[in-house]
Amino acid sequence: MKRIPYGVSNFKKLIQDGNIYVDKTEYIRQLENLNEDYIIFLRPRRFGKSLFISLLEHYYDIKHAESFQALFGNFNIGRDPTPLHNSYYILRFTFSGINTDTPENSRRGFSHNVFQGIRNFCIKYSFEINISEKKEASEMIDAFFSEVSKLIDKKVYLLIDEYDHFANELLGFNPEFFKDSVSKNGFVRKFYEMLKEATAIGILDRIFVTGVSPITLDSMTSGFNITKNFTREKLLNEMMGFTESEVIALSNETIEGGIEEKMSKLRQYYNGYLFHPNGAARLYNSDMILYFMSSLQQFGEEPADLVDRNVVSDYGKIGRLFDIGGFNAERMTVLDEIIEGKEQKTKITDQFSLELKMSLNEFKSLLFYMGFLTIKRYDEISDEIFLDVPNYVIKELYFNYFRSKN
pTM: 0.95
Q: CB burial class (10 A; 0-12, 13-18, 19+) of residue 152?
A: middle
Q: Which of 284, 309, 334 is the last residue in one of the domains?
A: 309
Whether residues 177 and 200 share a domain: the answer is: yes
pLDDT at residue 305 greater than cutoff 80: yes
Tens digits of residue pLDDT in 149-177: 999 999 999 999 999 888 888 887 777 88
pLDDT at residue 199 greater than cutoff 90: yes
Reported as type and span, the H/E element at residue 378 is strand 374-379
In a domain, 358, yes or no: yes
Lowest-confidence segment of 44-48, 187-191, 218-222, 336-340 by average pLDDT = 218-222
pLDDT score for 355: 67
Give residue 252's Cα distance to chain centre: 28
Q: Which of 309, 325, 358 is the last residue in one of the domains?
A: 309
Is residue 218 very low, low, confident or very high in pLDDT (cuts 50, 70, 90)?
Answer: confident
**What is the domain range of residue 262?**
242-309
* Mean pLDDT, residues 123-149 taken together: 95
pLDDT at residue 102 greater than cutoff 90: no
180's CB contacts (< 8 A; 6+ apart) are 103, 186
Q: What angle do CA 13, 16, 21 make, to 5 degrees?
A: 80
Whether residues 332 and 369 share a domain: the answer is: yes
pLDDT score for 108: 93
Tens digits of residue pLDDT in 261-286: 999 999 999 999 999 999 999 999 99
In a domain, 364, yes or no: yes
Whether residues 265 and 304 share a domain: the answer is: yes
Most distant pair of Cα atoms in the chain: their distance: 61
Angle of helix 392-404 relative to helix 329-339, nearest 10 degrees?
140
In a domain, 97, yes or no: yes
Q: Which of 265, 285, 309 is the last residue in one of the domains?
A: 309
Which tops the pLDDT comparison, 276 or 100?
A: 276
Domains in the chain, number: 3
Is residue 179 very low, low, confident or very high in pLDDT (cuts 50, 70, 90)?
Answer: confident
